């Protein structure tokens, strides 16, 4: 196993990019919304980030709890919850960063997609990334533009759910 793979695990390239750009800094409180088995959490756990996660799959959450117990035994198992994104029990404005990688495409329809997105955004601190959701005229697909306090913007676009 390469040193990078050992340090970062099977991290999503977009998360890796945000780490390289310095947008996710040490000491940040992270919520992984739709964490799966925790592939994006290995580096964050090793580096001492305050990590929380939610997923609707109890087996996946149990894997994340085991991963955290190995890499960060100081974190309580209660940080890792069996919950759907739209009903996460984390407090409002709780996290500095919310991860949601390869999750939103599971939405049943556009309304469910926006509900999942709102559930995730609700957990973000007010000074974190925020979003404006709107409909794109040509194909009626939700598009969200994310803004941060530094003037950066990113656009999230979702293909129409079939």
Per the domain annotation, does 17 fall within a domain? yes
**CATH code, domain with 27:** 3.40.50.150
Structure tokens at 69: 């117990």
Per the domain annotation, does 162 fall within a domain? no
Contact 131, 144 (CB under 8 A): yes
Q: 19-60 pLDDT, tens per residue?
A: 888 888 888 999 999 999 999 999 999 999 999 999 999 999
Q: 30 φ, ψ to 5°?
A: -110, 135
Residue ranges making up the domain that contains 74: 3-157
Q: Could you give the CA distance from residue 162 to residue 160 in angstroms, rounded to a whole number?
A: 6
How many distinct structural domains can be found in the chain?
Answer: 1
Q: What is the pTM of this model?
A: 0.75
């Amino acid at each position: 196993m390469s040193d990078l793979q050992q340090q970062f695990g099977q991290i999503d390239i977009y998360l890796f990019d945000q780490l390289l750009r310095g947008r996710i800094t040490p000491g940040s409180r992270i919520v992984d919304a739709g964490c799966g088995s925790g592939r994006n959490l290995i580096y964050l756990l090793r580096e001492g980030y305050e990590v929380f996660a939610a997923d609707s799959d109890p087996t996946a959450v149990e894997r994340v709890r085991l991963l955290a117990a190995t890499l960060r035994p100081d974190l309580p198992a209660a940080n890792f919850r069996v919950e759907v994104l739209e009903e996460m029990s984390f407090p409002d404005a709780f996290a500095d960063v919310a991860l949601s990688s390869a999750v939103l495409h599971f939405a049943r329809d556009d309304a469910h997609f926006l509900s999942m997105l709102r559930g995730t955004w609700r957990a973000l601190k007010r000074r974190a990334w925020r979003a404006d959701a709107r409909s794109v005229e040509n194909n009626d697909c939700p598009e969200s533009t994310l803004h941060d306090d530094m003037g950066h913007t990113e656009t999230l676009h979702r293909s129409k759910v079939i």
